[in-house]
Structure formats: C-alpha cells, structure tokens
Amino acid sequence: MAQSSADQTLLKRSFRRKRLRENAAGLFFISPWLIGFLLLMFGPMVFSLGISFTEWNMVGSPKFIGLENYVHMFTSDPFYFKSMIVTFKYVFIMVPLQVVFAILIAVLLNRATYGIKFFRSIFYLPSLIQGVTLALIFSWMLNDDFGPVNYMLELVGLPRVHWLTDPNVALYALIFIALWGVGSPMVLYLSALRSVSSEYYEAADIDGAGPVRKFFNITIPLITPTILFNMLTSLISAFQTIVLAFVLTGGGPANSTYFYSLHVYRNAFTHFKMGYASAMAWVMFILIVLLTGLVLASSKYWVHYEDDGGGR
C-alpha cells in the first residue's frame, strides 16, 4: 500500500520532471525570440506606456499630464475616429478578400496538372516583393497618365481611373495592392490542402457528394486551423499597415487613406507629440489584443482539429 503510493509520487514527480523538461526545450527553442523581445522590445514598450501619460517632444524632460492624452483622442482630436474608420475599412475588406483569394488560388494549384510546379512558383513569386519596393512598383503601375494599368484600361475603351489620387478610389487601390502579397498565405493553404487525406474524398465519392459539397464539407473544415492562423496574422498586420499608404499616398487624398498608424507616425515624428503618439499606439495594441482574443474565442465554433479525438 505504502509502496504503491510512493510509486505514485515517484511517477508523478518523474512526470512533472518530464513536463518541465519539455517546457524547457520549448522555451529554449523560442529563446532567440524571447531574449530579443525582452532586450529590444519589452523595455521600449514599458517606456512608451510611461510616456503615454506625459507630454514630451523628445528634447527636454517629459511632463506628467495623467490621462489627458487618452481623453484628448476620444474627445477633441478631429482625425482620431476618421483614421480609425479608414483602418477598420481596410482591415475588414482586405482580410476576408485575402483569405478567399488565397484559398481559391491554392485550390487551383492543388491539382496534378502538367507543369503545376511552374504555376505554383509563378503564383508565389509576386509575394516576394514587399514593402517599399512593392509600393514603388505600383506607384508607376497606377500612375494617372503613363501607368500601364490606365493604358490597358484605355485600350479596351474604359476611362482612366485616378487610382491613387481620387479620394473615393485610393483606399481600394491600396487594398488591391496589398492583395499582391496573397502568395504567402496561399502557400500555407496549399500545404494544408495537400495534407487532407484522400480517404475523406473517396468516402464522399462513394456517398455521391459533388465537388462543391466536397469543398465546403470536407476541404474547408479540414483547413480551418490554417484559416485561423492566417486570419490572425493578417488581421494583426493589417491593423498596423503603414508602408503602402506612407509611400504611395501619404494618407491622402483628402485623408482617405489616413490610417491609424499614419496618425500615430504623424503625431510622433511631424508634431513630435511622443506622449500622445504612445497613448494612441497603446490603444491600438489593446484593440488588437481584444480582436485577436475574440477571433480565438470564436474559433472553437468553427475550427476543427483533426487530431482532436472527439473534440474538447
């Protein structure tokens, strides 16, 4: 009796040790990121949180003003909600479009056709061009007067579009350009699709399911973990988007592409209101955390893990 209980504690202990070792290995593997985060990001983050309660223009010492920065953004900054709305519009159009396009292309590229490897490379290649380079290329592509896009529109008899200079169009042009990077999530979906076991489709074939039914009832559910992952990452990066607008439109025309991030940047490095910019950045951070949490919470209703063993 005593023997067996001792055995049990021993077992428990060894189990705990094993878990500890597993955790240690995990921590060890993420240590480069962890150490980098602690050394290079955590400090500045704490600093910016402190600064967000002050008025500070980088020279001289910060002046403590309590919650004034936070009050100002919600009550008397005429650009605050405007930039917030622009950002939300961008996120909620861009992210779903990206998910849909990436899946569609991945499905097309998941066929065993002749030269499929070539097509996969071709569809992936554009996403290697990112950031400022992408912006500069599109500043020429979408140029009002001698850009190839307008030239082609004119060839087929359509009117020229002021892609980046019409307040009603510019935001959608930026979304279009951002979708250029659809290749990287596409690759993820492709690998997810390829790991879907063909048994499911064979079984469905026997039951007489058509391709549409198979797509929605087998393919989509089985790649939902990838959809979740991709949605989260692109949601976060879309909220922080700045490069395209910064290079191509500067937030214009008529502030139609004036993203939240640009408002933060402008306050920090044009008006040199570091305190206010930090406060705004923190509000955005909290907002992203909340939205991410929301998506994660919702995921138990729509994400299926194959190895769930009956679901939790």
Partner 1 sequence: MSMSRSKDNSRNKRWFMLSLVAALCLSLLSACGGKSESGANSPGTAANGGNKGTEGNEVTLRFMTWDSGQTLQPYQNAINAFMEKNPGIKVKVESVPDNYDQKLLTSLASDTAPDVFMAWNYPLYVPGGALEDMQAWVDKDNYDLGKYYPILMDYMKYDGKLWGLPTTYSTRAIYYNKKLFDEAGVPYPQDGWKWDEFVDTVHKLTKPGQYGFIMTPDDVMTMQPYVWSNGGDMVSEDGKTVEGVLNSAENVETMTFLKQLYDASSKINSAGKFSTNNGLESFQTGQIAMFDNGMWPLGDILKEGKLDIGTVTHPLPEGGSLKGIIHTSGYSMPKSGKNKEAAWELIKFMSGEEGIKIITANKFAFSPVISVDEENGYAADPYLEAFAKELEGSDKLIASMRNEKWSEAEDMIRAGVQAIFYNNADIQSTLNDAAKQAQAVLK
170, 163 in Cβ contact below 8 A? yes
CB of 63 to partner 1, least distance (A): 11
CB of 300 to partner 1, least distance (A): 34
Select from 276, 247, 310 the least CA-distant residue to 79.
276
CB of 270 to partner 1, least distance (A): 5
Residue number, 147 or 185, with CB nearest to partner 1: 147
Q: What is the DSSP letter of 62?
A: E
CB of 227 to partner 1, least distance (A): 31
Residues near 197 by beta carbon (within 8 Å), at least 6 away in sequence: none
CB of 78 to partner 1, least distance (A): 6
120, 189 in Cβ contact below 8 A? no
Residue number, 12 or 271, with CB nearest to partner 1: 271
Residue number, 145 or 207, with CB nearest to partner 1: 145
Which residues in this chain contact partner 1 in the complex, by CB under 8 A?
Answer: 28-29, 31-32, 35-36, 40, 57-60, 76, 78-79, 144-145, 162, 164-167, 170, 248-250, 252-255, 266, 269-273
Residue number, 60 or 210, with CB nearest to partner 1: 60
Helices (H), the chain: 2-29, 31-36, 43-51, 68-75, 80-109, 116-124, 131-141, 148-155, 170-178, 183-194, 198-207, 211-214, 220-239, 243-248, 260-269, 274-302
The letter for the amino acid at 229 is: F
Residue number, 120 or 273, with CB nearest to partner 1: 273
